[in-house]
Amino acid sequence: MKKRKLGLFLAALLAAGCASAPLGVAEKDRERFPLDPREGLAGPFHAGIAAGWDALQVGDGDRAEYEFRRAAEEGEGLAARIGEITAWVVRGQDARAVEACREALRVGEGTPPLLVACGEAYAARAEPLEALGLYERALARVPSRQGLRDRAGELRKAARESLLSAARKEIEAEQWDRARERTARAIEVDPKDPEARVVAAEIERGAGDPEKALVYYREALELGFKGPEAEARMAALALESGDHALAVALFDELALRDPQYAEAAAQARMAFRIANWPAPERAAAQRPRLTRADAATLVWWTVPEVREARVSSGVIASDVLSRRDSRAMTRALALGFLEVDRVTHRANPDAPLTMTAASRLLLRLLSLLRPAGGAPACLEGMVDVPRAGAEAVRLVTACGLLPQSTGNSVSGSAFTRALDRLRTLVGSGENARRE
């Protein structure tokens, strides 16, 4: 009788052991949280572990916690602790779970179920960077789990966005070093993300290092970055830094997608051309306030017809003869582009070019270049250059040669663009005459 009772007891014990052993883990091979707490551990296990796992699978966190706690109280070890942490995460008790994770992971590497459960606990506390680190440790143990890999990808994105969001706030506060640290960590978390390079570029741009900013911008482009506002800032920085080829490429691509960038693209192409001009002409085109001599130099350089034009008589200006730019100034005076003071016989070459003088110069140049009968529509009816300065300015702005301005000076870039537009007007006049 005793033997029979002992046999029944052993059979029952064996049955309990078989029921709680992780025999089904390999078949289920769960891909995402929660993972079976028995995975990676040697059995036999307390019956509460299997009961708790069954409860987890149907989302019953309360029942799972009860079963895992019962198993722990009756001597079950790490499997019960992993189960409890998992149940706390399921129940939304992430602070309790994180505290238990710190204790459980202090003594060793941890099994994939423990690492994943702790990763989810940190994720629930909006700490994706810590969560990602735990998931990566789990994947080092079970690299074939695609579900875990997908979840790690989600956490990687969340960690990157969290770091970049913090970096942007530090940019606003001009905390450059802290912003750099955040962005460097974001690049480390996701090396293929172009957005982190753009933020890094914004940091360096704000901190006053345009060359380093351009390095990051180029890396972002190589990684496939697309974003009109950032691309426009990138192009403007390239233009400012003298990387005209990059500026032209970026603005031209932006203009293809959005016509509002057409003017910026034209300016970039102009800057690229100017960068290859001789020093005097390049300096004149970049002058914030153009002088009369600068204007003559730019006309001489950009308009071959001016150099080839015949003049019947020269105009003498005593303050022009000994200058390096005397040829350009003399030709501008002879063609009536600029005027000489009849009393002092001086052309005042170093005086600022006024809006009125610039307007008259452009209208006289247009009269020289345009073919007979080919006047553009904006100058229809004009016989000669108006004597009134206001009328000359009105005509030039109507033709789009110079922008309307409240000031009385003209920049080198504006005047150079006006010469380019004037050539376009001449071309349209020729076409109109042919038609």
Domains, the chain = 17-156 (1.25.40.10), 176-275 (1.25.40.10), 280-434 (no CATH)
Q: Which residue, chain included where needed, has tokens 């006053």? A: 208
Dist CA 19 CA 47 (whole Å): 7
- Residue type at position 360: R
Can you give the pLDDT at residue 380?
67
Q: What is the pLDDT averaged over residues 55-64?
A: 93
* DSSP string of 269-327, one letter each residue: HHHHHHHTS-HHHHHHHT-SS-BHHHHHHHHHHH-HHHHH---SS----TTTTTSTTHH
Using alpha carbons only, give the angle 421, 425, 430 rounded to the nearest 5 degrees.
Answer: 145
Q: What is the pLDDT averaged over residues 16-30?
A: 42
Q: What is the pLDDT averaged over residues 13-32?
A: 45
Tell me which residue of 287, 293, 327 sits closest to 416, measured CA to CA. 287
Q: What is the pLDDT averaged over residues 337-351?
A: 89
Q: What are phi and psi of 352, to 5 degrees?
A: -60, 145
The answer, yes or no, to whether residue 13 has pLDDT greater than 70, is no
Collapse the DSSP code of 344 into the 3-class scheme (helix H, G, I; strand E, B; otherwise coil) and give the result: coil
DSSP state of 36: P
> Between these two residues, 141 and 426, which has the higher pLDDT value?
141
The answer, yes or no, to whether residue 341 has pLDDT greater than 70, is yes
Q: Are 127 and 95 in contact (CB under 8 A)?
A: no
The answer, yes or no, to whether residue 20 has pLDDT greater than 80, is no
Neighbours of 280 (CB within 10 A): 16
Can you give the pLDDT at residue 381?
63
Q: What percent of the chain stands above pLDDT 70?
A: 87
Cα distances from 223 to residues 57, 197, 295, in angstroms, run 41, 9, 44
pLDDT band (50, 70, 90) for residue 48: very high
Can you give the pLDDT at residue 39?
92
Least confident of 3-7, 87-91, 303-307: 3-7
pLDDT band (50, 70, 90) for residue 234: confident
Cα distances from 366 to residues 288, 343, 402, in angstroms, run 24, 28, 14
Can you give the pLDDT at residue 115?
96
Looking at every residue in the chain, the average pLDDT score rounds to 85
Q: Are 350 and 375 in contact (CB under 8 A)?
A: no
pLDDT band (50, 70, 90) for residue 312: low
Q: What is the pLDDT averaged over residues 305-330?
A: 84
Can you give the pLDDT at residue 356?
92
Dist CA 25 CA 34 (whole Å): 12
pLDDT per position as a tens digit, 235-271: 888 888 888 888 898 889 888 998 998 888 888 888 8
Q: Which residue, chain included where needed, has tokens 């490429």? A: 249
Q: What is the pLDDT averaged over residues 380-392?
A: 74
Q: What is the pLDDT averaged over residues 111-129?
A: 95
